[in-house]
C-alpha cells in the first residue's frame, strides 16, 4: 500500500512566507568603532612652532579640537589663490567625472528599489494560422487569433535578498559620494600646493638672476684689476667659471617652473598652452597662525577615504546577505487577465476573457556547491574590505603625524635658514669690500658668493615648504567638507560628533574577521521566526 503524499495547501505556504517575511539574510552591518588613540605622535603635539623674523616666519599654534572650515585655503588670505581654486572647482574634468559617478550610483539605487514593487506588463498580438488537414482528418481553413492581456508578477522578498541588494547599492552610492569629497579635497590641495611651488620657483629664479648679476659685476671688476695687474689671469678664469656655473642652475629650475605651470593649467581644466591669467607670489600669502587640529577619535569621521572604505565594507556585508538569500526558497506570485477572440469586433464580447493566477516556489537543490562557495567568496570579500579599511585608517593617522612633524621641523628650518641667509649676506658684503681693497684672496670672495647664493635659495624653499605643509595638514585632517554650506550643492552627510568617541573600544580582531559577529545577524522581531530562519539556513547550506 503506497504511503499517502503530504499536502501543502496554499494557505500553509502563505503562512510560512509571512512568518519569514521579516527575516533578512546575512549580517546587519555596524561601522567599526573609532580607534582608541589619544595622540597622533608619541611625544604629543607642542603648543606652538618656532618663529622667524622673515616673511612666512610666524609661529603657528595648534588648536586641538577646533573645527576646520570648508574653504580652508582662504586662511592664506590670497585673492589670486582663491581665484585659482574657484576656477579649478568649476572646470576640472576629474571633478565632473566624480559627480557623474555619484549620479550613476544614485540612479542604480533608484533602479534597484523598483524590485520592491510588482512587475506589470501588457501585451497584444495577432496571429494568422493554418493547420494541417491531414493531421485533423479534414481541411481546416486558416483562422486568426487576436490576444490582449496584462500580466502581473511579484517576487516575495521572504529572506531579504532584494533588500540586501538595494542596501549594497546604497552603500556603493555612499562610496561614490565620499569619493567625490576626496576628489574635491585632492583637487584643492593640488592647486594650492602647485601654486605655492610655482611662486617659490619664480622667486628662486629671481634670486639666481640677482646672484648672476652680482657675479657679472664682480667679473667686470676682476677683469679691470687684471688689466691693472692687481690679480692674475686665474682669478678672471675662476670668476668666469663661477658665472657659468650659476647660469647652469637656471635651465633646470625654469623647466620645473614650466612643468608646474602646465600642471596648474590642467588642474584648472585648461590646456598647457593656455595662459593662466594669474600669478601667485609668496609675499602675498599669509601663513595661518592658528591651525585647527582634530581630535584623533574624530579623524575616521572626517577623512573621506576612510568613510569610503567604511561604505565598501557595508556593500561587502550586504553582498553576504544576497549570496545567502540565493540559497533560500524563492516565492513568486503571478497572474494575468486578457481577452482572446478570432475577430477584432469580438474582442470585448462576453466569454472572450481569459485569466490565470498562481504561485510558484523555487528551492535550489543541487548546484555543485556553486551557491555555497559564492557565499564563502562574499565573506572573504568582506574580510578583504575590513583589512583595507584598517590599512586606510593607519595611513590616515600616518599622514597627520608626518605633517605635524613636518610643520615643526619646517619652522625650525626656516628660522635656521633665515639666520644663515642674513649671515651669508653680511659676510658677502664684507668680503667684497675686503677683496676690492686687496685684503683677501679671490678664493675667499668666491666662497662667500657661493654661500650666499645657496642660503638665499634655501630660504625661499623653506618659506614655501611651510605654506605647502600647512596645506597638507588641512588635507590630512579631511579638509572640512562636512562644513560645506547648503548652497554649495553637495549632499554628503556630515560626520557625527565625536565627543564621546574617545571612550569607545575598538572592534576586536575576531569581530573584524567574521562578518557575522559585527552585529546581530538577523533583524527579526519574533523569536520563533528567527529560529525557523536559522534552521532553514543551516539545512540549505548543508545541501548546497
Annotate 73-141 with DSSP letters as a single string: GGGG--HHHHHHHHHHHHH-HHHHHHHHHHHHHHHHHHHHHGGGS-EEEEEEEEEEE---HHHHTS-PP
Residue pair 150/356 in contact by the 8 Å Cβ criterion: no
Our CA angle for 41, 46, 51, nearest 5°, is 130
Q: Encode pLDDT of 79-121 as tens digits.
A: 999 999 999 999 999 999 999 999 999 999 999 999 999 999 9
Q: Encode pLDDT of 395-407 as tens digits.
A: 999 999 999 999 9
Q: Which range, 138-152, 343-357, 422-436, has the best average confidence (pLDDT)?
A: 422-436
Q: Encode pLDDT of 276-321 as tens digits.
A: 888 888 888 999 999 999 899 899 999 999 999 999 999 999 999 9
Count other Cβ atoms within 10 Å, centred on residue 458. 19
Cα–Cα distance measured from residue 73 to residue 281, given in angstroms and rounded to the nearest whole number: 15
What is the reported pLDDT for 391?
Answer: 96
Q: Quick one: which of 361, 285, 371, 446 has its CA closest to 25?
A: 371
Our CA angle for 316, 320, 321, nearest 5°, is 120
Domains by residue range for the chain, with CATH: 31-117+157-328+363-543 (1.20.1600.10), 118-156+332-362 (2.20.200.10)
Distance of CA 317 to the CA centre of its chain: 20
Q: How far apart are the first and last CA of the chain?
A: 34
Distance of CA 505 to the CA centre of its chain: 26
What is the reported pLDDT for 12?
Answer: 47
Cα–Cα distance measured from residue 447 to residue 466, given in angstroms and rounded to the nearest whole number: 29
Residue pair 44/62 in contact by the 8 Å Cβ criterion: no
Q: What does DSSP assign to residue 345?
A: G
Annotate 249-264 with DSSP letters as a single string: THHHHHHHHHHHHHHH
Strand 61-64 and strand 353-362: pairing? unpaired
Cα–Cα distance measured from residue 369 to residue 288, given in angstroms and rounded to the nearest whole number: 62
Q: Encode pLDDT of 12-51 as tens digits.
A: 444 444 444 557 888 899 999 989 888 898 888 888 888 8
Q: Encode pLDDT of 211-241 as tens digits.
A: 888 888 888 888 888 888 878 888 889 888 8
- Helix (H/G/I), strand (E/B), else coil: 146: strand
Amino acid at each position: 500500500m503506497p504511503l499517502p503524499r503530504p499536502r501543502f495547501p496554499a494557505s500553509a505556504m502563505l503562512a510560512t512566507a509571512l512568518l519569514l517575511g521579516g527575516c533578512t539574510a546575512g549580517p546587519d552591518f555596524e561601522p567599526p568603532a573609532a580607534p582608541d588613540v589619544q595622540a597622533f605622535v608619541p611625544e604629543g603635539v607642542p603648543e606652538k612652532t618656532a618663529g622667524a623674523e622673515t616673511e612666512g616666519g610666524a609661529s603657528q599654534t595648534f588648536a586641538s579640537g577646533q573645527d576646520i572650515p570648508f574653504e580652508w585655503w582662504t586662511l592664506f588670505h590670497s585673492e589670486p589663490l582663491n581665484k585659482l581654486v574657484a576656477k579649478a572647482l568649476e572646470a576640472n574634468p576629474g571633478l565632473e567625472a566624480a559627480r557623474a559617478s555619484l549620479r550613476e550610483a544614485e540612479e542604480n539605487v533608484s533602479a534597484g528599489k523598483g524590485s520592491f514593487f510588482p512587475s506589470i506588463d501588457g501585451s497584444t498580438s495577432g496571429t494568422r494560422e493554418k493547420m494541417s488537414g491531414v493531421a485533423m482528418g479534414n481541411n481546416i481553413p486558416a483562422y486568426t487569433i487576436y490576444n490582449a492581456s496584462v500580466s502581473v508578477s511579484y517576487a516575495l522578498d521572504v529572506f531579504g535578498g532584494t533588500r540586501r541588494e538595494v542596501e549594497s547599492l546604497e552603500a556603493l552610492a555612499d562610496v561614490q559620494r565620499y569619493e567625490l569629497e576626496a576628489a574635491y579635497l585632492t583637487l584643492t590641495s593640488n592647486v594650492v600646493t602647485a601654486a605655492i611651488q610655482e611662486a617659490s620657483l619664480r622667486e628662486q629664479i629671481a634670486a639666481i638672476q640677482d646672484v648672476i648679476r652680482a657675479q657679472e659685476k664682480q667679473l667686470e671688476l676682476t677683469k679691470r684689476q687684471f688689466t691693472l695687474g692687481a690679480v692674475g689671469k686665474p682669478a678672471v678664469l675662476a670668476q668666469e667659471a663661477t658665472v657659468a656655473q650659476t647660469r647652469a642652475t637656471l635651465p633646470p629650475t625654469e623647466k620645473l617652473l614650466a612643468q608646474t605651470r602646465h600642471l596648474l593649467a590642467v588642474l584648472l581644466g585648461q590646456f598647457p598652452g593656455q595662459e593662466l591669467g594669474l600669478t601667485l607670489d609668496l609675499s602675498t600669502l599669509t601663513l595661518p597662525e592658528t591651525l585647527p587640529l582634530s581630535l584623533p577619535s574624530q579623524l575616521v569621521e572626517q577623512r573621506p577615504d576612510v568613510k569610503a572604505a567604511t561604505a565598501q565594507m557595508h556593500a561587502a556585508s550586504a553582498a553576504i546577505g544576497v549570496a545567502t538569500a540565493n540559497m533560500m526558497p524563492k516565492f513568486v506570485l503571478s497572474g494575468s487577465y486578457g481577452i482572446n477572440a478570432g475577430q477584432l469586433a469580438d474582442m470585448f464580447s462576453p466569454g472572450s476573457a481569459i485569466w490565470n493566477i498562481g504561485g510558484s516556489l523555487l528551492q535550489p537543490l543541487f548546484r555543485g556547491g556553486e551557491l555555497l562557495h559564492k557565499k564563502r567568496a562574499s565573506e572573504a570579500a568582506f574580510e578583504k574590505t575590513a583589512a583595507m579599511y584598517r590599512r586606510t585608517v593607519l595611513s590616515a593617522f600616518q599622514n597627520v603625524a608626518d605633517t605635524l612633524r613636518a610643520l615643526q621641523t619646517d619652522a625650525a628650518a626656516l628660522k635656521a635658514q633665515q639666520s644663515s641667509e642674513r649671515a651669508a649676506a653680511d659676510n658677502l658684503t664684507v668680503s667684497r669690500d675686503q677683496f676690492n681693497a686687496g685684503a683677501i684672496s679671490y678664493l675667499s670672495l668666491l666662497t662667500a658668493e657661493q654661500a650666499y647664493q645657496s642660503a638665499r635659495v634655501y630660504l625661499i624653499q623653506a618659506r614655501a615648504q611651510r605654506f605647502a605643509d600647512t596645506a597638507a595638514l588641512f588635507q590630512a585632517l579631511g579638509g572640512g567638507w562636512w562644513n560645506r554650506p547648503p548652497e554649495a550643492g553637495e549632499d554628503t552627510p556630515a560626520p557625527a560628533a565625536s565627543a564621546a568617541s574617545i571612550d569607545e573600544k575598538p572592534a576586536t580582531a575576531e569581530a573584524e574577521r567574521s562578518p557575522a559577529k559585527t552585529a546581530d545577524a538577523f533583524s527579526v522581531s519574533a523569536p520563533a521566526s528567527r529560529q525557523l530562519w536559522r534552521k532553514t539556513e543551516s539545512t540549505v547550506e548543508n545541501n548546497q
